[in-house]
Amino acid sequence: MAEFLSLHDAVARYVQDGATVAMEGFTHLIPFAAGHEVIRQKRRDLTLIRMTPDIIYDQLIGAGCAKKVIFSWGGNPGVGSLHRLRDAVEKGWPHKIEILEHSHAAMACAFEAGAAGLPLAVFRGYIGSELPSVNDQIKFIECPFTGERLAAVPSVRPDVSIVHAQRADRQGNVLVEGIVGVQKEAILAAKHSIVTVEEIVDDLKAHPNACVIPGWAISAIAVAEKGALPSYTHGYYGRSNRFYKEWDAIARNRDTFTQWLDENVFKGVQNHAGENV
Amino acid sequence: MSLEYTSSEMMTVTAARALENGTTCFVGIGLPSEAANLARLTHAPDVVLIYESGTLQTKPDILPLSIGDGELCESALTTVAVPEMFRYWLQGGKVNVGFLGTAQIDRFANLNTTLIGDYREPKVRLPGGGGAPEIATNAGEVFITLKHSRRAFVKDVDFVTTLGFGRDGKGRDNVPNIGKGPTRVITDLCVMKPDPETKELVVVSLHPGVTREEVMDATGWEVRFADQLESTPEPSEKELGILRELKARTERAHTGE
């Protein structure tokens, strides 16, 4: 049964140094408030998994939380590069990080396989790509029935997955609406999970086929109003495209990044991206 | 009297015209998205646009900045989870055309969106594969659009993120359950198609006012021209009007909150 905790307590309990962490949300519902809490608690040596690292992982990498990043598309969507990710990979600032890169199809299948309790995902992929030559977690197997050569990757099984959603009811059941990404798969694949929500309601008012994650499949729920900004929450607020564009200048330079982090993440514990954009 | 238009507009209109009405198209963000939506708003109202964020049959009024903008979901017939998108809809063979952009492309239409330089010591780190590696092999065919430059059009890509026809042009030979691969590349200077035998990209059509020399200067290999070299038809007033309105709407939406 999901426990209702403050975001501080949820992160303190479930995100340990050295943990494998997936913060998901496919350009929507990105759990920025939770990411900032991880930065404030100065977690270190994390293996960060996310299909699209986005500026949330740019911030965690620049803040020195990451040891390794597993991803499939590492850019600032529609804007350009993730400068903190690049600085860590190209110049080793604030320290060298290891990267393991996949394609989207591989990662989506790996999350799904994790949720299904399987050790691997099998799919028709990576044909002719050189990614298998730089990622030893990509293998090929032969279909035992047809002989077709298929790609295989290990399933994703994070120590903790963190996602943001619209709302939870008082039993901790969570409704996710809009672009649902791999939210449900990330929760079900992980040993522990934290869901931040915009609000707690008496009745989810979900239609029969809605994406609802039962409270008993979640470890902790924390209320984080506007917790996805500068990404967005369908039905609540839009994406701050302006901030995504501004991030390019902030993150390009180590000093402006450090200053931004100090002012917006470390100094104001109540702050989240929503108040900075 | 001919219309005034930019080379970027020429590229987008030409790329849009490549999409036939009724096609199911898996759309990459950026230039492909601009072209695919122009197609939908002009000659191809029934084109089915799919984005990797899970938005199926979407009709955005403005161009998305990111692949998962709310606009894509709100204007979609339905939105599915990302694993379903890649497994059922793409891998399941429901996509006719994959429409991709790229940072680097080589003479065999292999795409590099991973990095410039050596993998362990990159000179420039690019975003990575995203959906492209499987879009390029699981879609029926692939259209590619990007601006022409010597930096982008190289003889051999630094890294094959996404298969065109492989480093020897034979990368798709005897591979079961694979699409035709790139069938056209649309740039701001010309249209290229793979040679039916060697799979090397050949210029088949020059945009109005563009010379062979300009294309050769902007291409990092000794590019060949088709014997029957065509002149790409100019954009129409209607196409240009709709494209400019679309871009103006998009600009207004993205600079606001």
Q: What is the DSSP secondary-structure string of B83-142? A: HHIIIIIIITT--SEEEE--SEE-TT--EE-SEEE-SSSEEEE----TTHHHHHHHSSEE
When pLDDT is cut at 50, 70 and 90, the band that residue B2 belongs to is low
| Cα–Cα distance measured from residue B220 to residue B154, given in angstroms and rounded to the nearest whole number | 4
Mean pLDDT value across residues B169-190 = 98
Interface check for A89 against chain B (CB to CB < 8 A): the answer is yes
**Between A267 and B176, where is the model more confident?**
B176
For residue A234, which residues of chain B lie inside 8 Å, CB to CB? Answer: 70, 73
Indicate yes or no: CB of B90 within 8 angstroms of CB of A105: yes
Interface check for B95 against chain A (CB to CB < 8 A): the answer is no
Interface check for B81 against chain A (CB to CB < 8 A): the answer is yes
Domains present along chain B, CATH in parentheses: 7-188+234-255 (3.40.1080.10)
Indicate yes or no: CB of B177 within 8 angstroms of CB of A148: yes
Do residues A220 and A190 lie in contact, with contact meaning Cβ atoms separated by under 8 Å?
Answer: no
Catalytic position from the list B9, B34, B52, B71: B52
Return phi, psi of residue B95, to 5°: -110, 125
Indicate yes or no: CB of B65 within 8 angstroms of CB of A241: yes
Which sequence spans correspond to the domains of chain A?
3-98+159-275, 104-154
What integer pLDDT is reported at residue B121 of this predicted model? 85
Which CA distances in Å does B129 have to A7, B112, B203?
33, 8, 26
For residue A145, which residues of chain B lie inside 8 Å, CB to CB? Answer: none
Indicate yes or no: CB of B125 within 8 angstroms of CB of A81: yes
Whether pLDDT at B106 is above 50:
yes
> How many of the other CB atoms lie within 10 Å of CB of A147?
8
Interface check for B250 against chain A (CB to CB < 8 A): the answer is no
HEC string for chain A: CCEECCHHHHHHHHCCCCCEEEECCCCCCCCHHHHHHHHHCCCCCEEEECCCCHHHHHHHHHCCCEEEEEECCCEECCCEECHHHHHHHHHCCCCCCEEEECCHHHHHHHHHHHHCCCCEEEECCCCCCCHHHCCCCCEEEECCCCCCEEEEEECCCCCEEEEEEEEEECCCCEEECCCCCCHHHHHHHCCEEEEEEEEEECCCCCCCCCEEECHHHCCEEEECCCCCCCCCECCCECCCHHHHHHHHHHHHCHHHHHHHHHHHHHCCCCCCHHHCC
> How many of the other CB atoms lie within 10 Å of CB of A232?
25
Question: Cα A136 to the chain's mean position, in Å?
Answer: 23
What integer pLDDT is reported at residue B66 of this predicted model? 83
What integer pLDDT is reported at residue A150 of this predicted model? 98
**In chain B, % of residues over pLDDT 90:** 90
Series of mean pLDDT values for 10-residue runs along chain A (277 residues): 96 98 97 98 98 98 98 93 94 96 98 98 98 98 98 98 98 97 98 98 96 98 98 95 94 98 82 45
Catalytic, B52? Answer yes
Beta strands, E only, chain B: 24-27, 48-50, 55-58, 76-79, 97-100, 104-105, 111-112, 115-117, 122-125, 141-145, 182-186, 190-194, 201-206, 224-231
Interface check for A185 against chain B (CB to CB < 8 A): the answer is yes
Beta bridge partners of B141: B97
Torsion from C-alpha of A35, A36, A40, A43, nearest 10 degrees: 20
> How many of the other CB atoms lie within 10 Å of CB of B198?
15
| Cα–Cα distance measured from residue B27 to residue B38, given in angstroms and rounded to the nearest whole number | 12
| Cα–Cα distance measured from residue A43 to residue A265, given in angstroms and rounded to the nearest whole number | 14
- Judged by DSSP in three states, B5 sits in coil
For residue B218, is it left (φ>0), alpha (ψ between -120 and 50) or beta? alpha
Do residues B112 and B126 lie in contact, with contact meaning Cβ atoms separated by under 8 Å?
Answer: yes
Do residues A274 and A226 lie in contact, with contact meaning Cβ atoms separated by under 8 Å?
Answer: yes
| Cα–Cα distance measured from residue A65 to residue B104, given in angstroms and rounded to the nearest whole number | 32
Indicate yes or no: CB of A178 within 8 angstroms of CB of B86: no
Residues in chain B: 257
Mean pLDDT estimate for chain B: 96
What integer pLDDT is reported at residue A270 of this predicted model? 44
What integer pLDDT is reported at residue A275 of this predicted model? 47
Biggest distance spanned by C-alpha atoms of chain B: 55
Architecture of the domain delimited by A3-98+159-275: 3-Layer(aba) Sandwich (3.40)
The closest CB to that of A128, out of B29, B171, B177, belongs to B171
Q: At what angle do helices B237-255 and A241-252 cross, to 10 degrees?
A: 70
Q: Is the pTM of this model over 0.90?
A: yes
- Judged by DSSP in three states, B40 sits in helix
Mean pLDDT value across residues B34-62 = 97
Q: Which of residues 183-242 of B touch A (CB under 8 A)?
A: none
